[in-house]
Amino acid sequence: MDGTRHYGGPMASVKQFQVTFDCADPERVARFWCEVLGYVVPPPPEGFATWDDFDRSLPPEHQGSAFACIDPSGVGPRLYFQRVPEGKVVKNRQHLDVRVGTGLVGEVRLATLEAECARLVALGAVRERVLLADGENESCIGMQDIEGNEFCLD
């Protein structure tokens, strides 16, 4: 590149980002992803003892409309789940790769992926297919979460 900015002014420094999921049942999907990733539900807003207390303070049409989970180490992005009226109808344009086999190859990697797949299926995930190593990419397992959002065990 010639050093010229093609999209406008100087880039802002990004400090954090969150991943947002559109879904029918935000709390259910958030709690699934907490189990998948070892994330936790953040503390409720100040002035509320629990998230249920906070939720009951909202107008009825907003109750249960959103939920979030966070990485307890503070390293991973916040995950935010928002209720939308429409169901999922097409394949995701982006997805999460759950990195459980990093550094592993061959049968050891596949066994690790299969063990994690079995754990996630017990939580309600759906196994779609295994993509075996092809000399360029290592094996991975394509899956869906409890509302059909695609993700990979990688």
Strands 78-83 and 140-144: unpaired
Q: What is the C-alpha to C-alpha distance for residues 67 and 55, in angstroms, rounded to an integer? A: 10
Q: Is residue 30 within 8 Å of 68, Cβ to Cβ?
A: yes
Q: Return the pLDDT at 2.
A: 54
Q: Return the pLDDT at 122.
A: 97
Q: Return the pLDDT at 11.
A: 63
Q: What is the C-alpha to C-alpha distance for residues 146 and 95, in angstroms, rounded to an integer? A: 14
Q: What is the C-alpha to C-alpha distance for residues 60 and 149, in angstroms, rounded to an integer? A: 27
Instruction: Give the pTM.
Output: 0.83
Q: Return the pLDDT at 3.
A: 55
Q: Return the pLDDT at 48.
A: 96
Q: What is the C-alpha to C-alpha distance for residues 25 and 105, in angstroms, rounded to an integer? A: 37
Encode the chain (154 residues) as per-residue pLDDT tens digits. Answer: 455 556 666 666 666 789 999 999 999 999 999 999 999 999 999 999 999 999 999 999 999 999 999 999 999 999 999 999 888 788 777 889 999 999 999 999 999 999 999 999 999 999 999 999 888 889 999 999 999 999 999 9
Q: Return the pLDDT at 87.
A: 80
